[in-house]
Structure 1
């Protein structure tokens, strides 16, 4: 049903009412904040104040004759002047305990000692608790008291690697069974893990070394 011509002005009025409802007046908000005021200093009481006036003061403002000052101790002396490098001091103390003569340190210092252990040598490490381990030295990590050597061997046709801490209290001795035929060009011989360059088992070389060592020691004893 079409709208009558007389109802058209009312329709315009209705659209104006809806527009006024959509427009909402903006609400302004005001915040009240107090300014910071520092704590007032305590005013000393006048001398010779009668006791009747002192009793009217709160307890926190009454004078106390037995009040004692807190004793302030000086700061402890700094250890930076005494020990500038604590890690080096701890390392030296541990080296003096586990390697007092410095023989094992010189044995693995391949950068300075030409007769030291080098990557590619066959070593025999004897422990205080446990069986000895034999293997080829793949890498040597010089880290002070944490110096370690990585050995690789083959036991029952299974490749086995062991990282030995040189200065561990459990390590009794480290012996060089056989030197490398030629000096290695790398500090880490990880390529020997491949089937092409793997040395396989070194038990036969270690066994020959032990027999030769026993014969040499036995000959000295007879003399």
Structure 2
């Protein structure tokens, strides 16, 4: 005969199952905010014994006036003193590298008597031999202005970029001007155009 405990076991399992199937009611909690009026500032008492004044912080002691802050004027805006800093820096450097202004006038594109592409130029250096060649390109970059010369040395074509305002450059001379004004600003086609090689041959003879 089964015991009473074994007979009640199925009923206990059903009770656990019914607990899971119950509808879960979410808990609700109501909150509200109460805005209280701002508290009025209580005036600091003026009648305080002297022995207690040293215990009060300095910024709370009675009779202390407000500290005056020094207001300095704003610094000068750089744009008011120098509106174009790049041009000012370039002019300052050119006054040191080219005090006479001859080199600047030589490579000025507005100067008709200046050096143009296609001209034969001869450059003299402080250290090393001079170099002559056909000017293929003039790169206008302010202080970094440079020009490209091409020549043939020992039947080998060579090119050299020369800084116009370099301290190592003593002088730049226009040996021979081009017959006609070139339409292009860069004469790189002279590297492959064989009819134009006679100009390079002339430059080679001048360099010798």
User: TM-score scaled by structure 2?
Assistant: 0.66
Kept in 2: contact 1:123–1:136 (CA 8 A) = yes
Match of 2:165 in 1: 167
Map of 1:204 onto structure 2: 205
The aligned counterpart of 1:83 is 82
Q: Which residue of 1 aligns with 2:72?
A: 73
Q: What is the aligned residue count? A: 175
- Root-mean-square deviation (CA, aligned residues, Å) is 3.7
Point out where structure 1 has 5 or more consecutive residues left out of the alignment: 1-16, 31-39, 208-223
Pick closer, same or farther for the CA change 1:195–1:68 going to 2, 3 Å. Answer: same
How far is 1:118 from its partner? 0.9
Q: Which has the higher contact order (CA 8 A, sep 6+)?
A: 2
- Give the secondary-structure state (helix, strand or coil) at the position aligned to 2:132: strand
Distance 1:55 1:101, change over 3 A: closer
Q: Assess if the C-alpha contact under 8 Å between 1:177 and 1:206 holds in 2.
A: no
How do residues 59-208 of structure 1 correspond to structure 2 at under 5 angstroms? 59=57, 62-63=60-61, 71-109=70-108, 111-194=109-192, 196=194, 199=197, 200-201=200-201, 202-207=203-208
Deviation at 1:145, TM superposition (A): 2.3
Which residue of structure 2 lines up, in the alignment, with residue 46 of structure 1? Answer: 45
CA contact (8 A) 1:125 1:171 kept: yes
Report which of the two structures shows the higher radius of gyration computed on alpha carbons. 2
Structure 1-normalised TM-score? Answer: 0.62
Q: Distance in 2 between matches of 1:147 and 1:44?
A: 76
Any unmatched runs of 5+ in structure 2? 1-16, 30-38
Q: CA 1:72/1:151 → structure 2, altered by over 3 Å: closer, same or farther?
A: same
C-alpha change, 1:54 and 1:126, in structure 2 (3 Å) is same
Q: Secondary structure at the match of 2:167?
A: coil
